[in-house]
Amino acid sequence: MSMPAQSRLILKTICWTLVSLLFLAALPLLRQASLLVLAAVAVTGAGLGAGVYWLVQRLRQRRSNRTGLGAALAVGAMTAVVGVAAPLYWLALQPALAPLTVPRVTLTDGHRQVIFQGMTHIGSAQFYRSVAYDVLRAQKQGYALYFEGVLPGTPQASEWFGRNLAGGGDLNAEYAKLATVCGLHFQNEFLDFLVDDVRRAPSTTINADVSETEMMQEWERRAAADPLLARRLAEEHPAGEDSGDSMQQIFSLLSRLDSGQQHLAAAFCRGIFTVGLSKKSSPDVLNVVVLDFRNARLAQRITDDADRNLFILYGSGHFPGLLKELRSRTPAWRVKEVSWSIAIDTPEQARGTLQVTE
């Protein structure tokens, strides 16, 4: 049963309108990225549209005509532009649609409190300002502060750490560059005051992390006990793979973009970080030292420091393992309160009008 002519016309009009509106929404994105990219996508889509049209006409045993071919070219070009732009829009909108949240967990063993503030190495200015305020307030309330930061080790250990965990480079420097690319901030920009506090009040502001040497020695101990770990490390972190060089190439490419293209790259970068950091921790073989070993050491320090309330700044991924380690030492530990903060958001661009009378 064929569709009435009037119904076909209405359906065709709706489809054309929908495709046209989606195309107009997608056009500015690819136009901003590059005219060459836009042209390449449109031409490719037009070619595919023409191919589909020719195949359909052959199957239906009908001759092609200019009107139908023109429509196929237009639909193909517009559909291709929409198809490429849609996932990019989705990625750029992730910080708003599915924001990355980090926990602020208050723990108690019945005698004292430990506040665990989850952190990310890269985040929004709003997030870090909030954390800095909470740190200062906790210090005034008498909390001792524990914070994360792998301490330097021997030259051999530093080389091992850089090769396996920092892509062959300076991890903090890479984070700072990535933050700039993403239009975000590296946490040290807002928390550098902790370094001064360590010098001023070393008994209440403490880097509670392990050193590169301790991490290397723990890895060697575990690898000697389980040779499978060394084999997995070679598979997951090939010796010839230099992510540092790859990152430098990316930074070099981004530095050649114009301001509009850099704005788009920053939006996509924020989306990538939001999606990536929202996932559960990957089963990386080095997690036995990056997470498990450091969690155990931190839990032991908390247990030994039994007479004080503590405020802890550590990566969010450490919390589940840390709580498990704490309970293995003192089963009374329980979660008293949990709140959440958005770690990655769009940059602040507040504007207003200031009226001043002379």
pLDDT at 282: 67
Strands (E), the chain: 101-108, 113-119, 122-123, 144-147, 185-186, 205-207, 310-315, 334-342
What residues contact 178, with CB distance under 8 A and at least 6 apart? 122, 186, 247, 269
Rounded Cα–Cα distance for residues 319 and 336 (Å): 14
Cα angle 156, 162, 167; round to 5? 155
Provide the whole-model pTM.
Answer: 0.82
Structure tokens of 215? 């991490």
Residue at 267: amino acid letter: A
Q: What is the pLDDT along the chain (358 residues), one digit of tens a residue?
A: 566 777 778 888 888 888 888 888 888 888 887 888 889 999 999 999 889 888 888 888 777 787 888 888 998 999 999 999 998 889 888 888 889 999 999 999 999 999 999 999 889 988 999 999 999 999 999 999 999 989 999 999 999 988 888 766 677 777 888 888 888 888 888 877 777 787 888 888 999 999 999 999 999 999 999 888 888 888 877 764 555 555 555 556 656 667 777 788 888 888 888 888 887 766 788 899 999 999 999 999 999 999 999 999 999 999 999 999 999 999 999 999 999 999 988 766 667 777 777 6
What is the per-residue pLDDT for 175?
83
- Please give the pLDDT value at position 212: 94
Tell me the three-class secondary structure of 115-170, residue by residue. EEEEECCEECHHHHHHHHHHHHHHHHCCCEEEECCCECCCHHHHHHHHHHHCCCCC
Residue 241's pLDDT is what? 52
Q: What is the pLDDT of residue 292?
A: 94
Question: According to the model, what pLDDT value does residue 188 have?
Answer: 84
Res 96: pLDDT: 87
pLDDT score at 209: 95
Contact 350, 172 (CB under 8 A): no
- Three-state secondary structure call for residue 206: strand
Q: Which of 183, 128, 118, 131 is nearest to 346 (CA)?
A: 183
Query: What is the DSSP-derived secondary structure letter of residue 201?
Result: -
Whole-angstrom distance, CA of residue 210 vs CA of residue 76: 57
